[in-house]
Amino acid sequence: MEQLVSLLPLAGIALVFWLLLIRPASRRNKAMAQLQASLRVGDRVMLSSGIYGTLRTVDEDPIEVEFADGLVVQVARAAVARVVHAEPTDVEPGPDAAEEG
């Protein structure tokens, strides 16, 4: 019984280690794998380097990302950090925009 009580702090440290480090990391890895598996052509993405682009092909592992008109680059699927929502760029400022200045 005394040996079991002496192992209790070690078990507590292992539990805290698992709760604070291993569990969150495995959740992040699972979410990232799910994100990279759900990529579709036309999605606007941000790569892990911080560069934004639009997906052109996602069938193979080096996927193709278009950064500008005609500039298509092959990158690893794992380089996609997140899918972002495209902001409308062709919106004209309304009459209220001049009053705000």
Residue-wise pLDDT tens digits, 13-25: 989 988 888 899 9
Structure token digits, residue 67: 């950064």
Q: 9 with 29, same domain?
A: yes
Asked, for residue 6, whether it belongs to a domain, the answer is yes
Q: 24 with 11, same domain?
A: yes
According to DSSP, the residues that pair with 25 across neighbouring strands are: none
The pLDDT value recorded for residue 72 is: 95
| Domain limits for position 30 | 1-38
The pLDDT value recorded for residue 98 is: 53
Q: 25 with 55, same domain?
A: no
According to DSSP, the residues that pair with 63 across neighbouring strands are: 75
pLDDT, tens digit (0-9, with 9 covering 90-100), for 43-85? 999 999 999 999 999 988 899 999 999 999 999 999 999 999 7
The pLDDT value recorded for residue 66 is: 96
Full-prediction pTM beyond 0.75?
Answer: no
Number of domains in the chain: 2
Q: 59 with 71, same domain?
A: yes
Confidence grade of residue 99 (pLDDT, cut at 50, 70, 90)? low
